[in-house]
Amino acid sequence: MTPTLSDYLMLSGVLFAIGAAGVFMRRNLITILLSIEIMLNAVNLTFVAFGRALGSADGQIIVFFVMTVAAAEAAVGLAIVIALYRHRESLNPDSFTVLKW
Amino acid sequence: MLFYVFASIAVVASLLVIAQRNPIHSVLLLVASFGALSGLYVLLDAPFVAVIQIIVYAGAIMVLFLFVVMLLNAPVEDTEYDQKVHPLLRQGPTRFGVLLAVALVAELFWALTKGGGESGAFAGGAVSSVRTIGRSLFTNYSFAFEVTSILILVAMVGAVVLARQER
């Protein structure tokens, strides 16, 4: 049987849930950034699936912009990770608590 | 049929990404997940997105991650407790994460099955040639496209400033 729109949406929802769970469960900055990438990809899949269902190319164009934002986010996020690691010699977000008080 | 192959590869690889201790394994598994997603884009008649998924995501962003992981050379786990207990089975906020993920999937499943039978198979006729995308990108979306270049420039400058050694 051929996959329908809701199959793609379901898959996208599962991937987004995996990414969200990763952000909440893992205490490693690199893995948290990777989980954010998983969530961005789940959203991209939704855009492409809806674009295909509606017969429009706009979904793919929005995916292009999402990828640009993801690249910028990864670059800045990894730069912050490097700066934080220089300060504390740790990648555990629980050890960066100076902004709390 | 191919959909289920790619979908299961993507889900399993993503699950393994958040279950690995070693970040390098996580990054490589995420590349596998992106490859499967790229196959799904081909199935959705979106070859342009499939190709830039491989080139930009797997080729550029993930290599950036690999660079940083290898540059930092951080220990995989900080404390003894972390070494003993698997990252997904620890106490504290991880329980909340599992709860959130399960709730999200259940809600989505409920919404999609409740929605009625209008979500049939896709209509025929692919519209999304690269020509269509390019034309649309440089006419309707030209302002957003130009703003994107400024975003990339700002991110580049910001990354250099943030990661610079201060003397």
Q: What is the pLDDT of residue B76?
A: 67
ipTM of the complex: 0.90
Residue whose entry in the numeric block shows the structure tokens 């979904």: A59
| DSSP H helical ranges for chain B | 2-19, 23-43, 47-52, 62-72, 80-84, 93-114, 130-138, 142-163
Q: Is the pLDDT of residue B119 over 60?
A: no
pLDDT digits (tens, 9 = 90+) for A51-77: 888 888 888 899 999 999 999 999 999
Q: Is residue A84 scored above 60 in pLDDT?
A: yes
More confident of the two residues B166 and A15: A15
The answer on pLDDT for B117 being more than 60 is no
pLDDT tens, residue by residue, B128-139: 678 888 888 899
Cα–Cα distance, B101 to B70 (Å, whole number): 30
Record the tokens describing residue B71, joined without a space: 């540059």
Lowest-pLDDT range of A5-19, B29-43, B93-107, B113-127: B113-127
Tens of pLDDT, residues B1-34:
889 999 999 999 999 998 888 889 999 999 999 9
- Chain B residues touching residue A7 (CB < 8 angstroms): 3, 7
Say how far apart CA A40 and CA A64 lie, in whole Å: 12
CB contact under 8 A, A20 and B101: yes
Structural domains of chain A ordered from first start: 5-95 (1.10.287.3510)
Q: Do A13 and B93 touch (CB under 8 A)?
A: no
CA distances from A71 to A11, A61, A80, B91 (A): 23, 16, 14, 33
- Parse chain B into domains and list their residue ranges: 1-77+88-111, 128-167
Q: Is the pLDDT of residue B81 over 80?
A: no
Which of the four CATH numbers 3.20.20.80, 1.20.120.1200, 3.30.70.360, 3.40.920.10 does domain B1-77+88-111 have? 1.20.120.1200
Q: Which residue of B18, B121, B155 is in closest CB contact with A2? A: B121
Contact A36, A19 (CB under 8 A): yes
Nearest to B162 among A69, A70, A80 (CB): A80
The band of B105, judged by pLDDT with boundaries at 50, 70 and 90, is confident
